[in-house]
Amino acid sequence: MKAEIYSITYRIPLTDAQQAKLDRKWPDGEPFISYEKIDSLLEPLPVGDVYWSHRTGQFLYFTVHGDDIEGTVAEVIERLEDKLGKH
C-alpha cells in the first residue's frame, strides 16, 4: 500500500483591507460577504472548510481536495483576490 496526499488545509494571510471586507456587516448584523458567497465563488473547485475569524488572526483557511492541489490553490487565490482585492 502507498498513501497519497488527497487534501491539505491552507491558510492565506489577509491584508487589513481584505479583512475589513470580510468583517463588513449589513445593518441587521449579517455579514456582507457570507461563507455561502465565498463557497459559491469557489464552485466548482474541490474546496471546503472555508473559514475566517478575527479570533484566528487575519487568515482565511480552506481545505483543497483532489489530484491537482497546487492548481486548485492558485485558482482559489486568484478568485479571492478578484473578490477581496490584492492588497
Asked if residues 63 and 47 have their Cβ atoms less than 8 Å apart, the reply is yes
Domain that holds residue 23: 7-84
The yes-or-no verdict on residue 1 having pLDDT over 90 is: yes
pTM: 0.86
Q: Is residue 70 part of a domain?
A: yes
Render pLDDT for 5-57 as a digit per residue (tens, 0 to 9): 889 999 999 999 999 999 999 999 999 999 999 999 999 999 999 999 777 78
Q: HEC states along 19-54?
A: HHHHHCECCCCCECCCHHHHHHHHCCCCEEEEEECH
d(C-alpha 62, C-alpha 49), whole Å: 5
Per-residue model confidence (pLDDT) at position 16: 93
pLDDT at 4 over 80: yes
Asked if the structure places residue 44 within a domain, the reply is yes
Q: Is the pLDDT of residue 86 over 90?
A: no
Provide the number of structural domains found in the chain.
1
Tell me if 1 is assigned to some domain: no
